[in-house]
Amino acid sequence: MIVAVDGPAAAGKGTIARRLADRFGYAYLDTGALYRAVALSLLRAGADPADPEAAARTARNLHLPDTADPGIRTPEVGLAASVVAAIPRVRATLLDLQRNFARRPPDGRPGAVLDGRDIGTVICPGADRKIFVTATPEVRARRRHLELLGRGEHSIYSSVLADLRERDARDANRVDAPLRRSRDAMVLDTSFITADEAFRRACAFVESAQ
Ligand code: CDP
């Protein structure tokens, strides 16, 4: 069983995907963390995230544990991740890792939930269930802003909104694997519902495939 959860930044897909994996005993892969980890490694090395050579080399040397670094969660790394993610060789390098995870989930789990931008369209077009999680830019920016404040970080709502719009535009307009809804995905707009309600709807949708 493969569940694909896609959508724009801070729409709530990570929370939904993680809870689905917990509920059904599936493995979970946050694919955004892969691009973020590549971006962080480049920034730490003083390299330009837009440099295709350096980015592709860094992606080839990426190991899953690199994604556990809390340093990947900053807004700067998020923006750099969307630059890195627009480089076709980076995406090609990370493709096998993601497909292998979906086809053969670790620890013999009976399924996998992957969240990202292109899971239902490119990584796993044959996924059993596809969910496109979305919300208005203002709601998403507010959530990310509160999340940053909750972590004790400095945050300004208007900057969060501007960053998010910039990232959305880059993700949706890139040539390779742009962010878009797969035609067979259920749309889950979380703008005006609680996290629990969003999870309940996602759960019912996945259950109906079992
Ligand atoms: O958590 P948030 O929604 O802010 O972003 P993320 O899922 O961690 O993804 C960070 C960036 O990685 C995105 O803005 C995309 O540019 C890129 N990404 C991608 O291109 N394809 C994916 N499957 C996942 C993320």
Q: What does pLDDT average to over the chain?
A: 96
Q: Which residue CA neighbors atom 10 of ligand 1 most closely?
A: 32
Q: Which residue owns the Cα nearest ligand 1 atom 6?
A: 32
State pLDDT tens for residues 44-94: 999 999 999 999 999 999 998 999 999 999 999 999 999 999 999 999 999
pLDDT-derived band at 209 (thresholds 50, 70, 90) equals: confident
Q: Is the pLDDT of residue 104 over 90?
A: yes
Token pair 């495939």: residue: 209
Ligand 1 atom at shortest distance from the alpha carbon of 114: 23
pLDDT over 80 at 24, yes or no: yes
6-32: average pLDDT? 97
Q: How far is the CA of 36 from the centre of ligand 1 (A)?
A: 7
pLDDT at 16 over 90: yes
Is 210's pLDDT higher than 90?
A: no
At residue 69, the pLDDT reads: 96
Give nearest CA residue, ligand 1 atom 8: 32
pLDDT above 70 coverage of the chain, percent: 100
- Which residue has the least CA distance to atom 21 on ligand 1? 117
Per-residue pLDDT tens over the stretch 124-174: 999 999 999 999 999 999 999 999 999 999 999 999 999 999 999 999 999
Instruction: Give residue ranges with CB within 6 A of ligand 1.
Output: 9-10, 14, 31-32, 35-36, 78, 81-82, 85, 116-118, 167, 171
Distance 9 CA to ligand 1 centre (A): 7
Tell me what pLDDT residue 126 has: 97
Q: Are 15 and 190 in contact (CB under 8 A)?
A: no
Phi-psi region of 7 (alpha: psi -120 to 50; beta: other; left: phi over 0): left
The residue contributing the CA closest to ligand 1 atom 14 is 82
How far is residue 116's CA from residue 135's CA, in Å, rounded to a whole number?
15
- Predicted local distance difference test score (pLDDT) of residue 124: 98
